[in-house]
């Protein structure tokens, strides 16, 4: 992570990271070139009503923009690759998975069930951009997931009152699991009819569609709620599966007891990823057994 002391410095690095000119950046935000130049020179602050447009266009966290867009900026660390911020260098690294076990019962009133009327624009923008596919997110799929499994479909609201992260888990049918496992369908093919009431199955199958947070504290609250669900579930004969392209998930998945079923090295080469995309499955029973 790099420490930023002004929004102008942040925007210049954002343009460099994404290969954008000032004119390109201005067009993406629907402002004129002079506005970008003033922001980058820290001559003028961003109007509060424009902050949301910047967040949705750049995928940078609200809190990061809010910290730096001030008369007296709050120095903040940020990593463009992981899209996470931090207020201190000590909290930059990804936390150990035992962190969740040690403090799993710590909750937050800033976690709430997904409300599509309020949250869909954030979910759609963040997931589609992360997956590099603007058709990735299906609104009716998420609506049905929220109806069937509200406990695992939620968002986290940051200190500024804005979206900061989410958890989307799908209760899928056994046939859907087989098709995903065998590469007959992918995430972008999933629809509401692929979901079922998990309580009706002898072996419930949960599919981790997407989990993300804008900083380690956000990730902690999101993942602690996630693990509490599986700690408390009565039917321990469940299966958790999912697909990931994120590099930092590889070691985490291994530590919590998920095994890799297949890797797509061809896609890794096409997308220039450090690790191949993977399909994984398993359960958290051993990981959580000491609680």
- Element holding 213 (H helix, E strand): strand 205-213
DSSP letters spanning 17-42 = HHT--HHHHHHHHT--HHHHHHHHTT
Highest mean pLDDT among 24-33, 78-87, 99-108: 24-33
| Residue-level pLDDT at 87 | 86
| Residue-level pLDDT at 276 | 83
Q: Residue 174 pLDDT more than 90?
A: yes
Q: Residue 131 pLDDT more than 70?
A: no
d(CA 193, CA 145): 10
Q: Residue 90 pLDDT more than 90?
A: no
Q: For 102-112, what is the mean pLDDT?
A: 91
| Residue-level pLDDT at 196 | 98
For residue 30, the tally of other CB atoms under 10 A from its CB is 10
At 139, phi and psi to the nearest 5? Answer: -60, -45
Q: Residue 275 pLDDT more than 80?
A: no
| Residue-level pLDDT at 124 | 86
Fold of 98-288: Aminopeptidase (3.40.630)
d(CA 214, CA 84): 5
Is 7:67 a contact under the CB 8 Å cutoff?
no
- Provide the residue ranges of all domains of the chain, joining segments of one domain with +: 2-91, 98-288
Going by pLDDT thresholds of 50, 70 and 90, the confidence category of residue 116 is: very high
| Residue-level pLDDT at 91 | 59
Tokens of 37: 């130049």
What average pLDDT is seen over the chain? 89
Is 231:288 a contact under the CB 8 Å cutoff?
yes
Is 7:42 a contact under the CB 8 Å cutoff?
yes
| Residue-level pLDDT at 101 | 77
| Burial class (CB within 10 angstroms; exposed 0-12, middle 13-18, buried 19+) of 280 | buried
Q: Residue 92 pLDDT more than 60?
A: no
Compare 277 and 147 and report the one with higher pLDDT.
147
Going by pLDDT thresholds of 50, 70 and 90, the confidence category of residue 130 is: low
Q: Which residue has the tokens 């602050």?
A: 45
| Residue-level pLDDT at 221 | 93
Compare 91 and 63 and report the one with higher pLDDT.
63
**Rounded to whole angstroms, what are the CA distances from 91 to 215, 217, 285?**
9, 9, 28
d(CA 50, CA 284): 42
3-state secondary structure of 266: helix
Going by pLDDT thresholds of 50, 70 and 90, the confidence category of residue 125 is: confident
Question: Which segment of 75-79, 86-90, 189-193, 242-246 scores lowest on mean pLDDT?
Answer: 86-90
Q: Which pLDDT tens digit goes with each residue over 213-267? A: 999 889 889 999 999 999 999 999 999 999 887 655 667 777 788 899 998 888 8
What pTM value is reported for the model?
Answer: 0.86
Question: Which segment of 93-97, 124-128, 173-177 scores lowest on mean pLDDT?
Answer: 93-97
Compare 105 and 247 and report the one with higher pLDDT.
105
Q: For 198-222, what is the mean pLDDT?
A: 93
Q: Residue 93 pLDDT more than 70?
A: no
Is 175:196 a contact under the CB 8 Å cutoff?
no
Q: Which pLDDT tens digit goes with each residue over 17-54? A: 999 999 999 999 999 999 999 999 999 999 988 998 99
Provide the 8-state DSSP code for 2: E
Question: Nearest Cα to 262, choosing from 281, 288, 240, 287?
Answer: 281
Fold of 2-91: 434 Repressor (Amino-terminal Domain) (1.10.260)
d(CA 32, CA 28): 10
């Amino acid at each position: 992570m790099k420490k930023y002391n002004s929004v102008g410095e942040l925007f210049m690095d954002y343009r460099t990271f994404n290969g954008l000119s000032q004119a390109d950046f201005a067009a993406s935000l629907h402002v004129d070139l002079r506005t970008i130049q003033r922001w980058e020179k820290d001559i003028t602050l961003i109007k509060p009503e424009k902050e949301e447009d910047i967040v949705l266009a750049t995928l940078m966290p609200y809190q990061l923009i809010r910290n730096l867009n001030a008369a007296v900026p709050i120095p903040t660390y940020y990593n463009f690759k992981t899209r996470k911020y931090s207020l201190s260098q000590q909290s930059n690294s990804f936390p150990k998975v035992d962190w969740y076990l040690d403090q799993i019962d710590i909750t937050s009133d800033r976690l709430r069930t997904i409300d599509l009327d309020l949250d869909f624009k954030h979910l759609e923008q963040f997931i589609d951009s992360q997956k590099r596919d603007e058709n990735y997110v299906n609104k009716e799929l998420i609506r049905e997931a929220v109806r069937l499994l509200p406990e695992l479909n939620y968002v986290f609201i940051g200190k500024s009152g804005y979206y900061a992260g989410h958890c989307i888990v799908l209760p899928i049918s056994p046939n859907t699991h087989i098709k995903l496992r065998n590469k007959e369908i992918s995430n972008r093919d999933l629809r509401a009819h692929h979901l079922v009431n998990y309580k009706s199955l002898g072996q419930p199958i949960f599919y981790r569609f997407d989990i993300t947070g804008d900083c380690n504290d956000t990730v902690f609250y999101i993942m602690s709620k996630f693990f509490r669900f599986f700690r408390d579930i009565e039917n321990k004969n469940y299966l958790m599966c999912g697909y990931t392209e994120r590099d930092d998930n590889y070691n985490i998945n291994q530590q919590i007891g998920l095994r890799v079923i297949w890797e797509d090295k061809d896609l890794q080469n096409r997308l220039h990823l450090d690790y191949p995309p993977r399909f994984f499955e398993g359960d958290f029973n051993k990981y959580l057994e000491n609680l």
